[in-house]
Structures are given as structure tokens and as C-alpha cells.
Amino acid sequence: MFDYQFVRENFELVKNAIKLKNEKVNIAQFTELDAKRRELIKNRDSLRLQQKNLSKEVAEFKKQGQDCPELITKSKQAGDDEKKINLELDNIESALKELLSWIPNIPHSSVPPETQTIREYGTPHNLPVPFRRPTGFGNGSHAFDFEPLPANELCEYLGILDFKRASKAAGASFPCYKGAGARLELALINFMMAVHCEQGYTPILPPFLVTPDSMFNTGQLPKMKDDMYYIPADNLYLNPTAEVPLINLHQDEILENLPLKYVGYTTCFRREAGSYGKETKGLKRVHQFNKVELITFTRPEDSYQELESMVTDAEEVLKRLGLPYRVVLLPANELSFASTKTYDIEVWAPASKEWLEVSSCSNSEDFQARRGKIRFREKGKTSPAHILNGSGVATARTFIALVEQYQTKERTIKLPNALIPYLGLTEIKK
């Protein structure tokens, strides 16, 4: 969250960020409230000085054994006036804090006006538009010689997903993996964790519940409040992404030896009550999903290079699975509230004939660190760290792409070699 001085000194920059990200913030109100706040502080300080001088005069009179009722009355009045100002100042600062909490992070100067495809990998099946085949991905045609089934239909045929029974237990849009489907989901999680541990990330299994402060620190609150599951009795939220608990492990801390890199697994829960909450059949949009998350705490001068590294680390998962994908750079109006720059990784689902976002890798610079008071020490000085987050990757949509990519004419799923050690199967059959 930005402080008063930053917004005051960078007003047009902040105003433009609000416009670019399509946020609804009455930024003009900041100028009015900030001016009033500074006026009140000036008046309060003047009254304090007046009261201090009056107290000295009263003490001098009393030392001489003289009464000074008028001075005592003036001093008391100054104290009463200060209390009134402090009360008004508290109200103004509460309003300012609320307004500042809705101001999004500022997009980086390299963010494009429109979505930009940065690179592509693999040769997607059934792709309706031209797609470059990278060297080394494979030889020959990757077109199906049969009509492939979408993941929902194939999983239902194989009996590895059961949304109908899941709805009995929890309602719509909750998945239930069965048999080889459950084994495949767990294998994906373990495989991803192993890949990222190889890359130098420290594995973490964090709490699945988080406090409102933790949600605020990472930028989910106040904006995304209606999209989250909340437990009033305990004043806790169900974790919407492992980004929240992983980052908040270090709230109110001074970090040493940066960069600090974590890979964490959690089940994630999102109500998606807003504009993104429309019901979608199958795994594409669910209220509960599994995700392996990458987090990096780093120095400001290194954060954009770390962002590029994080994207490469997430890509490695899809490369080893042999899934065609593309990396896109998002425009400002698609950035999250806390992000300054985001790369999405989209995997190709050949039967559904669509690109599915399986990872978003973002730099929040010091936006989340300032909210969570996460600093680092260098040369005796402490400064807010830069924090990056990325999915490494979300399993539900990866599950869709993998099932569709590796299906056979016989309606089985031949598994990629990278997963076999984690699954104990080479093929999923009915």
C-alpha cells in the first residue's frame, strides 16, 4: 500500500495506474483528505506549542506563589481543542487509509498496451492457426487421426472424475478425483514439487487457512473479499492461493541472504462471486483446486531478472510433460491488483481447442512487502524487499491439457515418461 507522501508526489502516476487497471477509486478525494489532514496536523502542533508555553507560564506563576486562573483556563481550552482535532484527525486518517487500500500497484514501463506473445513451445494438436514448431520438440505430424474427446467426456468415460457425486457433498463446481484420476492429480503435485526443488526452491507445506491481515498484505483484501471463503467464527479465510501463506510467513521480519525462494503446495478455495464467477462445466473453473506456488523474496535491483527466471522455472514443468504452451505478457488492464508485470503461461488443450492459463508469474516489487512489513538488511540499512509469485503450475487445467494431449484412439491416456515414476502407471484405462 502506498503512503501519503508517495501518492502526493506521484499523483498523476497513481491516477494513471488506477485508470490502466480499471479500478474504481475516487483518487480526487485523496487530495481533499490529504490537505485537510495536513491542516489539522499543523493546527494540532500549534496548539501543542501553545499549551507547552502556557504550562511554563503557569509553572512560573505558581513558583512565585501567584494564581493565574486565566492562563489555566487557556491551557485547558488548548488541551480540549487538541482532543477535538485528534478525533477529527483519526477520522480523516481512517478515511485515507481506506482509500489508499484500494489503490493498485503501478504497472511497469515495459508492460505493453495489448497482450503480447513472447514465445511458443511445442506443436499443438488441432490448432486452428499457424504455430511455430521449436527445434527439438519432436518430428512428424502432431495431428490426431481420430476425433479426440474433451477432458470432461474422457474423464467421465474412464471414471476418473466424478462431479455429480462431488456436488452431493459440496454443491456445484467442486471436483472429485477417483481412482487413477486421484493418482494422476497427486502425481502432478509431487512431480512439480520435485522439479522446483531441483531448481533451488525450498519446499513448504503452509497452512490452508489465513488471517485477514495476511489477505490484506498480499492484496486479496479488500478488493477480492466477495470472492473468498470466510469463516466468521474464527476470523479466518480459506486460502485462495499459496501465495498468501507463503509470503506472510515473513510478515514483520527483516530477511537476510536474499534471494529467498519457496515452492509450496496448497489446495486453493475461491467463491468467484464477481464477474469471473460464472459456472463452467468441468475442471476449467472450480471453487477448489490444487496449485504448486513459487515465491521469491529479492533485492529491488534483481527483481525483474528473477521474474524472467521464475517464468523459465514454471515452463520446465510443461516441457518435461511434453505439453505445447505459449508465454504471453499481459497488458496493464489484465494485471492483478498487486502486480507491476505479469507473464501468463497458457497450455494448449487440443480437444477443447483452446489455450488454458496454467501459470501467472508476477512481480509486485515492494507493494506486498510494504503492506506486510517485510524488509531486508543491507549495509546496516533496512528496505522493503521485492516479492514475486508464480504458479508452478495450477494442476486442474494442466490435468485437462494432459488428458486431452495424451489420449489414444482406444480412449485411454498414455502418460508422459516424466510422470510414470510418480504414478506407477504408464496408461490409464477404463
Distance between CA atoms of residues 360 and 374, nearest Å: 22
First and final CA of the chain: distance in angstroms? 53
Q: Which value, to the nearest 10 degrees, does the dihedral of the CA atoms of residues 405, 125, 282, 275 take? A: 130
123 vs 211, more confident = 211
Question: What are the backbone angles phi and psi of residue 428, rounded to the nearest 5°?
Answer: -105, 120
Residue 146 has pLDDT above 50, yes or no: yes
Cis preceding linkage at 393, omega within 30: yes
Q: Which residues contact 425 (CB under 8 A, 6 or more apart)?
A: 180, 183, 415
Q: What percent of the chain has pLDDT over 70?
A: 93
- Pick the range with the lowest mean pLDDT from 23-32, 139-148, 337-346: 139-148
Is the separation of the CB atoms in 353 and 232 below 8 Å?
Answer: no
Distance between CA atoms of residues 357 and 284, nearest Å: 10
Query: What pLDDT is stored for residue 68 in this prediction?
Result: 79
Query: What angle, 0 to 180 degrees and rounded to 10, lies between the N-to-C axes of helices 395-405 and 303-321?
Result: 40
Query: What pLDDT is stored for residue 379 in this prediction?
Result: 85
The average pLDDT across 198-217 equals 97
State the pTM of this model: 0.89
Residue 18 has pLDDT above 80, yes or no: yes
Query: What pLDDT is stored for residue 142 in this prediction?
Result: 52
Residue 274 has pLDDT above 60, yes or no: no
The average pLDDT across 21-39 equals 94
Confidence of residue 214 (pLDDT cuts 50, 70, 90): very high
Residue 139 has pLDDT above 70, yes or no: no
Cis preceding linkage at 207, omega within 30: no
Residue 130 has pLDDT above 70, yes or no: no
Query: What pLDDT is stored for residue 136 in this prediction?
Result: 35
Residue 185 has pLDDT above 70, yes or no: yes
Residue 140 has pLDDT above 50, yes or no: no
The chain-wide mean pLDDT, for the chain, equals 90
CA 100 to chain centre: 18
The average pLDDT across 178-196 equals 97
Query: What angle, 0 to 180 degrees and rounded to 10, lies between the N-to-C axes of helices 69-101 and 28-63?
Result: 160
80: how many CB neighbours lie within 10 A of its CB?
11
Residue 141 has pLDDT above 50, yes or no: no
Distance between CA atoms of residues 395 and 184, nearest Å: 10
Q: What cell does 254 get?
A: 527483516
Residue 277 has pLDDT above 60, yes or no: no
Query: What pLDDT is stored for residue 280 in this prediction?
Result: 55
pLDDT per position as a tens digit, 106-116: 999 999 999 99
Domains of the chain and CATH, by start? 4-101 (1.10.287.40), 116-428 (3.30.930.10)
Query: What pLDDT is stored for residue 278 in this prediction?
Result: 46
